[in-house]
Amino acid sequence: MDYIEEKMVSENNKKKEYLRSYRYHVRRIYRINAEIAELREMKLHPSMKPDDGMPHGSGGQGDLSGYAAELDEMINELIKERHLRIKTYQAIVRQIKRMKSRNESDVLFYRYIKGLDWWEIAEKMKFSERQIYRIHGNALAHFELPKDVSECQ
């Protein structure tokens, strides 16, 4: 691979990383919600010792302040992540809408915002997967990263 090809691959990887940042925030929100649900579930149903089947430890009322502090911290993390998700969505969609080709912008939106698989995009757009790969390659070539890429990461 020569220097120009390496530079193009590197640039495309930066673009993909930027475009994927929205889905990263979506996954983080699901994960934090799952952690909060697990924490609440553990608090509602005290742990059982396998040898006697009786409730012990973390189910008692004595540790409510620790539980409340941990829950509060996780909720604050969730709020922050939701804010980042919205901010990232707005920035990425703004860049996608600036593209001249509607097919190229649609492929980027379906892939990086909606998180669709290639075959789902092809089905939705009534193209073959091969055409979707080609459109995606052209879309990456035409996609412009914002001046300050760090704003969404």
- Higher-confidence residue: 120 or 67? 120
Residue 66: the pLDDT is: 79
Q: Where are the domains of the chain?
A: 3-49+63-152
DSSP string, 90-132: HHHHHHHHT-S-HHHHHHHIIIIIS---HHHHHHHHT--HHHH
- Higher-confidence residue: 80 or 50? 80
When the pLDDT of each residue in the chain is averaged and rounded to a whole number, the result is 86
DSSP string, the chain: --HHHHHHHHHHHHHHHHHHHHHHHHHHHHHHHHHHHHHHHHHHS--B-TTT--B-GGGSGGGHHHHHHHHHHHHHHHHHHHHHHHHHHHHHHHHHHT-S-HHHHHHHIIIIIS---HHHHHHHHT--HHHHHHHHHHHHHH----S-GGGG-
pLDDT tens digits, one per residue of 70-129:
889 999 999 999 999 999 999 999 999 999 999 999 999 999 999 999 999 999 999 999
